Structure 1
Amino acid sequence: MSAPPSPPGAERTDGSSVPIGALVPLTRPGWVEAGRHLLAGLELAVREVNDAGGIGGRPLELVVRDTAADPQRASAAVDELARLGVAAVVGEYHSVVARAAAARAAALNLPFLCSSAVLDALTEQPTPWVARIAPAQSHGWQIYADFLVGAGHGRIAVATQPSVYWASGTRILREYLAPRGATVVELDVRDLDASAVCDALVDHRATALLLLVGHPEPAVPIVKAVRRDRRLATVMIGAPAGQPEFPEWLALLGGDGAAIPFLRYLPERLGPLGERVGTALRERLGQAPSFVAFEGYDTVVVLADVLRTRAGGDPARAGEPWPRVAVEGTRGQIRFSRTPGIGVWQWTWAPTQVVDRDPAKPGRFRVLHTG
């Protein structure tokens, strides 16, 4: 099990290490389970970098800050980390939080390598200081839309909450599905409880319900209500944002949480590096690692390569080399490029799958579609 993050002010500042800041949701209302996996990947890679000699003989030091899914807290953390002299900032899972962190890092000319957040517009304007490991939302959600069309779904309902992230996802689905003859109707869960969501699905004759809502509330009650409503026996439940990936989903829903397709950023088969890292992550977490844990590991692998080539981690120069990165990650070779509509340096792309939990064995995943 990983050690808890150091308290503020406990980090070394004597120059003996190369400090990097890490933004992670570790308390509610952040998605704590995702944060735990992300931190496990970051910590494992830091340990391995240091075992191999660190950065020019200096060890990497992870300076962890809990964002708790709060954009203002993340922005303040970036300011604090900059004052501490970190060479770069990494991490974050929640897209709206990562956007705030990216904006502040860019304003400070502080490199930020985003691990897991997918919102296309991570920054308002193009910046040389920010790069991202996770695929952009438009890329992954179009693959999910392809899956929906291939599965024959033409009347799709989305249960949604107010959020830039959920609104962006709804727009991507609608724009991509409309030319293919599919309709998307929004169900605002501020106005509808789980029972009313079921009634709305019947009224709209929906063939699929996508959960664009928080976890565990209100996602879990909605799933339970739909599963128990005989009128909706043929309605597919989907969760493109990946809620069913983590063991907590299975613990809360059991068999009801199976057969709910979601996006996962893993290849069908891991290579030797991925297999080795996966084994180490399983030992560290005490459970199967999610794709978020691999994203954390790959983040540090990339940043270590950048820091080794930029004057031993000089933060004044570390923002330039994203386009020169070519490193082997756990899920393939990582290179960054500029992509239309995305203002940050982007890995194009991590392997993307649509998977679900097998109803016959909910602890096992089934690959339904790849993109």
Structure 2
Amino acid sequence: MNGMPTGSTSPAPVLLGALAPLTRPGWAEAGRHLVAGIELAVEEVNAAGGIAGRPLELLVRDTAADPARAEAAVEELAGLGVAAVVGEYHSVVARAAAARADALGVPFLCTSAVLDGLTEEPTEWVARIAPVQSRGWRIYADFLAATGRTRVAVATQPSVYWATGTRVLRDRLAEHGGSLVELDANALTPAELCDALADHGATALLLLAGTPEPAAPIVRAVRADGRLAGILLGAPAGQPEFAEWLAELGADGAGIPFLHYLPEEPGPLGERVGKELRERLGGEPSFVAHEGWDGVTVLAGLLRAAPGHGADRAEVAAAWPRVETEGTRGTVRFTREPGIGVWQWAWAPIRVVDRDPADPARIRTLHGDDRANPLREG
């Protein structure tokens, strides 16, 4: 029983576009989790009567971590008549999608990309439920300082995302009296990188690089180097979140702190959706899956409230500041934040966590953000 009208007189669907990296070089496992959350939410929206009696119809497009492909997908979806677009994981790709959505006048709800500068100029067409990079990576730097790891090295690759993260870390560590040195993960072999770490006397190495290459070989090399036994390996971008990390590295992949955007104690809605996602994915759902579910649920509420229920995209975009939707991680409300050009949910939960070396399947909290507990918002 799906709650929708049946028969030849069924109303036309409301079309919803979705973007996700489903093939390499995109982070395909993250894309699979994102789409699982999106699809589950669409099914639940339709079971509850859809959008004013009209079913949501999902049109998923694979970005494969390619900005040009994302731009083309947004253009195609706009031509097909979607009421809005939701999704994307990679920040550089989401930025391209946001720019095209803004140019075409298509509402775009970014679920999982954190780059602060999602658009060059302020726009009314784009909103985001993922926390901004500057907030999360400052929290990560605070964690490093609290554990005495203030002589930090980063193994990085060329990207605006990695470069922005490096700048945030460097500035925040400087406030704690710390320092940061950059090592080129493309130019140095893992062995050469280990030599550089030993020479520098770094107390932490952060993996600002893709996975499995070159991040996994770097992890194995550092773990095997007796000179670096006391160094902390970290991955603020969240590479250890997904099962493929453990499959690639086994025990070597545990004990590597990363940023995690789920509350430590989920509420009833988070518990229920988490259970559904677990069954769908055949394993523990990541925060990315929850972001997908939250994104569609927010858009569904917005579409129901808009006068034309999605027929007029400008009406949909005008409703961002009126959103107040219960998501799996708290009540989503959009505001204008200083320096952020899109409508932003400012209070997504952020924790620094790792995989417990004694039980790598277990996520343990190392550091929390006391400012934000959306399950207790008043």
How many Å separate the matches in 1 of 2:71 and 2:354?
35
> Aligned ranges for residues 146-295 of structure 1 at < 5 Å?
146-295=142-291
Aligned pairs (5 A) from 1:71-82:
71-82=67-78
Of 277, 287, 292, the match for 1:296 = 292
C-alpha distance in 2, partners of 1:144/1:288? 23
SS in 2 for 1:342: coil
Matches within 5 A, 1:21-36: 21-36=17-32
Residue aligned with 1:319, SS: helix
Gaps of 5+ in 1: 1-13
CA-to-aligned-CA distance 1:265-303 (integer Å, 9 cap, x gap): 010101000000000000100010000000000001100
In 1, Cα distance between equivalents of 2:341 and 2:39: 28
> What is the aligned partner in structure 2 of residue 361 from structure 1?
359
Q: Deviations over 1:52-101 (max 9, x none)?
A: 00001011111000000000000000000000000000000000000000
What is residue 133 of structure 2 aligned with on the other side? 137
In the TM superposition, residue 15 of structure 1 has moved relative to its aligned partner by 6.7
Please say if residues 11 and 53 of structure 2, whose CA atoms lie closer than 8 Å, have aligned partners that are also in contact: no
Cα distance in 2, alignment partners of residues 249 and 353 from structure 1: 19
Per-residue deviation at 1:116?
A: 0.1
Q: CA deviation at 1:179?
A: 2.0
Is 1:85–2:81 an aligned residue pair? yes
User: Match of 1:307?
Assistant: 303
- From 297, 321, 324, give the equivalent of 1:323: 321
Alignment partner, residue 346 of structure 1 = 344
**Unpaired stretches in structure 2, ≥5 consecutive residues:** 1-9, 370-378
Cα shift at 1:209: 0.1
Aligned length: 358
| Distance in 1 (alpha carbons) for counterparts of 2:262 and 2:184 | 31
Counterpart code for 1:266: L
| 2:59 aligns with one of 63, 66, 69 | 63
Deviation per CA, 1:175-229: give whole Å up to 9, x if none.
Answer: 1111211000000112101111100100110000000000110000000000000
Opposite residue 252 of structure 2, the aligned amino acid is D
Which residue type is aligned with residue 108 of structure 2?
Answer: F
When the two structures are superposed, what TM-score results if normalisation uses the length of structure 2?
0.94
- Detail structure 1 runs of 4+ shifted over 4 Å in the superposition: none
Aligned to 1:102: 98
The Cα offsets for residues 33-63 of structure 1, whole Å up to 9 and x where unpaired, read as 0000000000000000000000010111110
Q: State which of 84, 109, 115 in structure 2 corresponds to 1:113.
A: 109
| Letter matched to residue 263 of structure 2 | P
2: CA distance, partners of 1:177 / 1:349 = 23
State the Cα deviation string for residues 306-348 of structure 1 (Å, max 9, x = none). Answer: 0001121122311111111111100111101011111000001
CA distance in 1, matches of 2:360, 2:305: 45
RMSD of aligned residue pairs (Cα, Å)? 0.9
Query: How many Å separate the matches in 2 of 1:50 and 1:191?
Result: 51
TM norm structure 1: 0.96
SS at structure 1 position matched to 2:360: strand
Displacement of 1:262 after TM fit?
A: 0.0
Instruction: Give distance in 2, aligned partners of 1:154 and 1:122.
Output: 29
